[in-house]
């Protein structure tokens, strides 16, 4: 891992970035973003057969999911405080905005920021125990908090819609293409914010906290400040994502399973493991990949012969087994591994490596 986080010369850290001079993997990333940007425009074109309006819908969902995954990575991948209930922030954002809109008639311009603020407060609320309570115990708290919230929601189901969900929430748009661009804008925004934070000094500090919190204290930095910052930021963007999700893709419906559920929280972890913990870009790619493959698996018509069970019902099982495999054999995740292999093949020396605040971008 030596040399991977070595800073570039002062020039490149400045604000003028020439795309042609960026390292190959950054160029690929930019290319990918451009491809996503024009995807819906290609949809009606018959020649590109596999892209249909269904694909636009699916990629929209994938973009939302990737945002959620990035929020998990910025906390758990970077500070090392493993959250098993990150869906909490998504759900708080979604339901705050949804309920304010449905029950009080608050317009989306106001309810969405309210959702973001509520989710940020949730981030703070979850962040505080991480200062007092050690690793696994903290993880336990994160695991049970959304469950408590969920059951309270079910209890108050006349207000929250209970398990079936809250209906009739206002929407920004029902047009798939518009929703796609909302999701895409959110994705780019989240990616930009998280990359800015993690590639700055804060990124070094956060990974240092993950590595050894006492060492961070000994250099005069207060870990609490940075941990809370990560949690609040994660909560804010998670909440923004949840609110936007409900008002666009979900067409005005907020359901607990899509926004608060344990399965969602676990899927975020799985996706990050697959993509690469502590990288942000790995999380984004892992998130997109996970969501699209999951959707594909759910729609696949194959049946497993002996068990007479369609593959579509097995998707979680399959992902679970893959995750177990990754944890054993590829714990750093796919993206870092691919980058390492690429670097090895090209025979680059450590001095050529680029800065990224704690892991390969």
Partner 1 sequence: MSANQENGEFAPGDGLLVIDDLTKKFGGLTAVDHLSFAVEEGEILGFIGPNGAGKSTTFNCVTGTYPPTAGTVYYRGEDVTGEPAYQMVKRGMARTFQSFRPLRDRTVVENVQLALVPDRLFSMAGLRGETRERARALCERVGLGDRLQQTPGELPHAGMLRLELGRALATEPRLLLIDEPFAGLSGPEIAEISELLTELREEGITMVVVDHNMRGLLQLIDRAIVINFGAKLAEGTPEAIRNDPAVQEAYLGGEGT
Partner 2 sequence: MVNAANLAVNVLLLGALYSLVAIGFTLIFGVGGVLNLAHGASITLGAYSAYYVTQAGASIWIGAVAAFGLPALFSYGMYKGMIRKVAGHPITVLILTLVAGLVIEQVFLVVAGTQPLAIPALVDGQTQLLERGVENNRIVAFVLSWLIIGALFYFVTRTKQGKAILAISMSHKGAALVGIDADNVYAYTWLIAGALAGIAGLFLASFLTANPLMGRNPLLLSFAIVVLGGLGSIRGSVIGAYLIALMDQVTVTMISTRLSGVTALVVLVVVLLVRPEGLFGRELAE
Is residue 350 a contact residue for partner 1 (CB under 8 A)?
yes
**Which residue's CB is nearer to partner 1, number 224 or number 322?**
224
Residues 227-266 that bind partner 1 (CB under 8 A): 229
Query: At 254, phi and psi to the nearest 5?
Result: -115, 115
List 23, 129, 170, 355, residue binding partner 2 (CB under 8 A): 129
Q: What DSSP character marks residue 166?
A: B
Shortest reach from residue 180's CB to partner 2, in Å: 31
Is residue 16 a contact residue for partner 1 (CB under 8 A)?
no
| Kind and range of the H or E run holding 189 | helix 176-198
Looking at 113-121, 191-199, 229-237, 264-272, which segment touches partner 2 (CB under 8 A)?
264-272
List 20, 218, 306, 328, residue binding partner 1 (CB under 8 A): 218
Number of residues that bind partner 1 (CB under 8 A): 36
Shortest reach from residue 350's CB to partner 1, in Å: 6
Taking CB within 5 to 8 Å according to partner kind, which of partner 1, partner 2, none is near residue 10?
partner 1
Is residue 256 a contact residue for partner 2 (CB under 8 A)?
no
Q: How far apart are CA 295 and CA 328, in angstroms?
A: 25
Residue among 261, 287, 223 at smallest CA distance from 94: 261
Is residue 50 a contact residue for partner 2 (CB under 8 A)?
no
- Sign of the alpha-carbon torsion through 340, 343, 344, 350: negative
Residues 6+ apart with CB under 8 A from 238: 67, 68, 71, 86, 89, 90, 93, 119, 123
Is residue 327 a contact residue for partner 2 (CB under 8 A)?
yes
* Exposed/middle/buried for residue 355 (C-beta within 10 Å: 0-12, 13-18, 19+): middle
Q: How far apart are CA 76 and CA 79, in angstroms?
A: 6
- The answer to whether 209 touches 221, Cβ cutoff 8 Å, is no
| Three-state DSSP state, 129 | helix
Tally of CB atoms within 10 A around 166: 25
Ranges assigned E (strand) in the chain: 303-304, 309-310
Taking CB within 5 to 8 Å according to partner kind, which of partner 2, partner 1, none is near residue 48?
none
Is residue 1 a contact residue for partner 1 (CB under 8 A)?
yes
Residues lying near partner 2 in the complex (CB under 8 A) are found at: 80, 82, 84, 129, 132-137, 139-141, 143-145, 147-148, 151-152, 154-155, 266, 269-270, 273, 307, 309, 313-314, 316-317, 320-321, 323-324, 327-328, 331
Residues lying near partner 1 in the complex (CB under 8 A) are found at: 1-3, 5-10, 13, 199-202, 204-205, 207-208, 211-212, 214-223, 225-226, 229, 350, 355, 358
């Amino acid at each position: 891992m030596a040399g991977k986080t070595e800073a570039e010369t002062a020039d490149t850290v400045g604000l003028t970035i020439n795309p042609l001079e960026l390292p190959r993997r950054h160029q690929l990333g930019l290319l990918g973003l451009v491809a996503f940007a024009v995807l819906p425009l290609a949809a009606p074109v018959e020649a590109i057969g596999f892209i249909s309006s269904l694909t636009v819908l699916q990629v929209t969902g994938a973009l939302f999911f990737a945002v959620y995954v990035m929020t998990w990575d910025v906390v758990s991948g970077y500070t090392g405080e493993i959250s098993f209930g990150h869906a909490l922030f998504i759900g708080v954002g979604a339901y705050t905005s949804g309920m304010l809109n449905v029950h009080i008639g608050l317009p989306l311009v106001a309810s969405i920021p309210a959702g973001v603020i509520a989710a940020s407060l949730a981030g703070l609320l979850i962040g505080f125990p991480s200062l007092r309570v050690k690793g696994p115990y903290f993880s336990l708290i994160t695991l049970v908090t959304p469950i408590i919230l969920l059951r309270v929601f079910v209890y108050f189901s006349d207000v929250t819609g209970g398990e079936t969900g809250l209906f009739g929430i206002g929407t920004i748009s029902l047009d798939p293409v518009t929703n796609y661009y909302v999701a895409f804008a959110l994705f780019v925004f989240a990616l930009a914010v998280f990359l800015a934070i993690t590639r700055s000094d804060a990124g070094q500090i956060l990974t240092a906290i993950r590595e050894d919190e006492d060492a961070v204290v000994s250099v005069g930095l207060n870990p609490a400040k940075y941990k809370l910052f990560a949690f609040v930021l994660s909560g804010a963007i998670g909440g923004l994502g949840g609110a936007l999700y409900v008002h666009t893709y979900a067409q005005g419906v907020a359901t607990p399973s899509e926004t608060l559920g344990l399965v969602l929280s676990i899927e975020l972890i799985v996706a990050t493991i697959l993509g690469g913990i502590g990288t942000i870009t790995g999380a984004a790619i892992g998130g997109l990949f996970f969501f699209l493959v999951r959707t594909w698996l759910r729609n696949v018509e194959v049946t497993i012969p002996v068990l007479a069970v369609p593959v579509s019902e097995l998707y979680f099982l399959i992902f679970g087994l893959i995750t177990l495999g990754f944890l054993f054999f590829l714990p750093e995740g796919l993206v870092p591994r691919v980058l390492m292999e690429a670097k090895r093949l090209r025979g680059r020396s450590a001095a050529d490596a680029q800065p990224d605040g704690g892991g390969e971008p």
